Amino acid sequence: MARGSSKTQNTPLATDDYEMVQSAGQVDNSGRFTISRKYYATNEQDLLLTPDNVSYAGKNMIPSSLSFQKISGGIWEKNIEFTAAVGAQDTGVVRTLSTTGSDEGRVQLEVSAELAPIEQHPEIDEIIKKYNGFAEKGKVLFPKTYTGTGTGTSGGSPKPNPFFGMRYYYQPSATLRHTYCTSSMDNNLFNNVFKIVETKSLPGGFPDLTALANRAGVTLKYFWQIQMPQVTVTGERIEITKIYTLLKPMTQQAAEDMNKLVNI
């Protein structure tokens, strides 16, 4: 048997033809623990075989990828990657991200702006009132000039209307992804799907978005809707990504009403 081999009855790897060399390992902030091992093969028929598992640092590592190349004559070099899940209690690399919770893993926030119909603006009623807007065939339109309010009975002289011809406005768009690894499936993983939460309830400890206040004194907040999670299973390592999408500004009452619909 070659040096470094570990052939067992349950191991399909033909270690009589292989010499194992320990290679690199790494742990990332999502809790993905990876090591790689190198083998040298003299039997081409064994190139696609891997061990069932290996033990490293007290973890049961499962093969997750395999690559090989012929290096000379009848010798092939094989690289096998093994993975497992680790938590904050195992390593200082996987640390708590949130200052208010115990969320582990990696949080990614993607923010952009997208065009939305002007009719969907959270303060469209105030804009219509100020800039002399009117509805026509289900669309809100604005004249070339407008007369401001609060300057006498006539409202002052006509002014160029900044909303003339405007059909869209920039609305913030954002997606937050929380990725972490675990060794067991969470039975409550789908319990909160489609529910709505405020920014302060998101993983990662992000500060709340600036609240908007319309002229009627109603505070409009930003809310996020929890989407279906993504789950990847590799051996005994389970990678979960929880996804949150930003909703357009709405009142607290509207968010509560929407949550009631989701819970039905």
Taking Cα atoms as reference points, which of 113, 103, 114 lies closest to residue 242?
Answer: 103
3-class SS at 199?
Answer: helix
105: which 2 tokens?
Answer: 């893993």
Mean pLDDT of 170-184: 87
Residue 252's alpha-carbon distances to 58, 65, 92, 174, 258, in angstroms, are 49, 48, 39, 19, 10
Which DSSP string do the residues of 21-88 spell out, in sequence order? EEEEEEE-TT-EEEEEEEEEES-GGGTT---S-EEETTEEEEEEEEEEEEEETTEEEEEEEEEEE--T
Strands 139-141 and 54-56 turn out to be unpaired
> What integer best gives the mean pLDDT of the chain?
80
Confidence of residue 176 (pLDDT cuts 50, 70, 90): very high
Higher confidence at residue 87 or residue 246? Answer: 246
**C-beta contacts of 130-135 below 8 A and 24+ residues apart:** 131/161, 131/162, 131/163, 132/161, 133/163
Burial (CB count <10 Å: 0-12, 13-18, 19+), residue 108: exposed
Tell me what pLDDT residue 7 has: 43
First to last CA, the chain: 63
Considering the entire predicted model, what is its pTM?
Answer: 0.66
